[in-house]
Structure 1
């Protein structure tokens, strides 16, 4: 086996292990311990973060910031990967902002010159645009980490009722229209609610012993479950029963609703281009959807439930009075 191939396979081998010794690796790769020591030294110089533990039970460990082995890409794959990274450039905040920038720079730096030229030309013709919001998201990464570790957080959330303390258990984070959102189980409401990340003013981990008392079992609930029309067992409050919104849509209203992935399974289109939207929500979401569909103007007319219809009428009257002066 050539030295370059051995080094590549060695990098893969040590990345898979929590701990190893020089003798173990030397026997596995059928080289002397002296040769294996030199190979490990080369990997260290290449950037693989090795940690040495001394003593009778000592050996080597790879730190968390591991160096991944090289991966071969075709030119088309390389261009696709670059634009996958480049699509993140318009986000004002990312849970891995610094890492995405360094990864993009590394990826571009090592491309052949003709591939770079091709990418530079495509950058003038292709862009993935996302509205840039002037918001601060200091707790975006902690929320994602808490979701990965099934950890509870004590947060201060700035809602329309003002800043209040909450204890939440995040499910995940997602971005929509330039904002970041976090569906999370709220211990106060005892159901899953949606929190806008830039409105979280403080977030601190809950002590393990204290968290065990109120932690919900969300291990089988993923961020994708949040977008399903039917709520999960934690999403509805028994005292806050589900309602069905019925909305009559013009052709322009149908086009707007097509943009929302959440409406995909509940939008019924007619041959003439008009449509009907039937959406199940909880009682507490009426204000939000009244305001949302009011923004459609005459392109969307809510016919059910009466509570939302009345809210929209009151808001229309308030707007009419405001513009009458």
Structure 2
């Protein structure tokens, strides 16, 4: 690691500390005592304000609680930032949809001319093909805040329940061109996976009952998964099938390699069997269902309906 990069990393490392010791820097950055002492002197020149104390409770005491020092990025990190900005532009159904271009312009203007030219060339010769959002999400901002703040919301999403529901959201996730959430219905005491674009009404509520903490929500969902996603299945994959699964898979799916071949293992909830059937059909001839019998039968029924169209 270059010295300038190491100093930058040391600033980040110290940004939330009030006291640090020489030995900490030596161990964290694999440097000698002599190098650590030189780095501390350089950090002081860069603007890190501290005083040293000897003795048992001694060390370097940082006097500015927030480090208002410039964090510098190397060329590889800058390239990574611009690659990421380009890659997420198509996932545009968020409260920040219009911000990506502005962020890119601001970042670009703060770069040296040489790096600006490099980024412009990168955009000219590197094509970004990412999966776009398929549907507009009206209440993304409210749902995101509800998830972060663990708020209780009154919502209308008619995928499973026709009337309004009182929900707590565990998380939001992006899958196959759509945004989803894991939502706990407080009245029914049941978990649902809901598409965000299907929400027609969302209102924040003051809790009229004891709601679960974030940890309790997470534990509740894990228990739900174990209880309801209880029917095991197994499929044989080709190498091309494995690549397709890696590109688009679900958290409860696992790809297993053994001497016999490549397998897709998992378990499903009977209520959501049709989603799994559609997913496996999307893999085409790169998958063969080994078990369960029910899954195989539903898969063949769906294939027959497709064939009958021709």
Give TM class, smaller chain. Answer: 0.5 to 0.7
CA distance in 1, matches of 2:251, 2:241: 12
Query: Retained in 1: the 8 A contact 2:252–2:267?
Result: no
Aligned Cα RMSD in Å?
A: 3.1
Where do 1:150-161 residues align within 5 Å?
Answer: 150-159=150-159
CA distance in 2, matches of 1:109, 1:249: 48
Q: In the alignment, what sits opposite 1:219? A: 215
Matched, 1:269 2:257: yes
Deviations 1:247-283 (A, max 9, x none): 12334333322334547972223557x4222202222
Query: Retained in 1: the 8 A contact 2:253–2:266?
Result: no
Deviations 1:168-226 (A, max 9, x none): 21122222333222222233553432211111122111223x2x34x23333666xx99
Matched, 1:232 2:231: no
Aligned length: 244
CA distance in 2, matches of 1:294, 1:146: 35
Query: Retained in 1: the 8 A contact 2:183–2:194?
Result: yes
Q: In the alignment, what sits opposite 1:169? A: 168
TM-score by length of 2: 0.67
Q: In the alignment, what sits opposite 1:295? A: 282
Q: In the alignment, what sits opposite 1:37? A: none
> Residues 104 and 292 (structure 1 numbering): CA distance in 2 closer, same or farther, change over 3 Å?
same
Secondary structure, aligned partner of 2:166? strand
Q: Kindly state the Cα deviation for residue 289 of structure 1 after the two structures are TM-superposed.
A: 0.8
CA distance in 1, matches of 2:188, 2:225: 10
Q: In the alignment, what sits opposite 2:53? A: none
Where do 1:56-75 residues align within 5 Å?
Answer: 70-75=70-75
TM-score by length of 1: 0.64
Query: Retained in 2: the 8 A contact 1:96–1:141?
Result: no
Secondary structure, aligned partner of 1:135? coil
Unaligned regions of 5+ residues in structure 1, if any?
1-15, 17-67
Where do 1:1-325 residues align within 5 Å?
Answer: 70-159=70-159, 164-208=163-207, 210=208, 212-213=209-210, 215-219=211-215, 232-235=222-225, 240=228, 242-260=230-248, 262=250, 266-270=254-258, 274-323=261-310
Q: Kindly state the Cα deviation for residue 290 of structure 1 after the two structures are TM-superposed.
A: 1.7
Q: Kindly state the Cα deviation for residue 119 of structure 1 after the two structures are TM-superposed.
A: 0.4
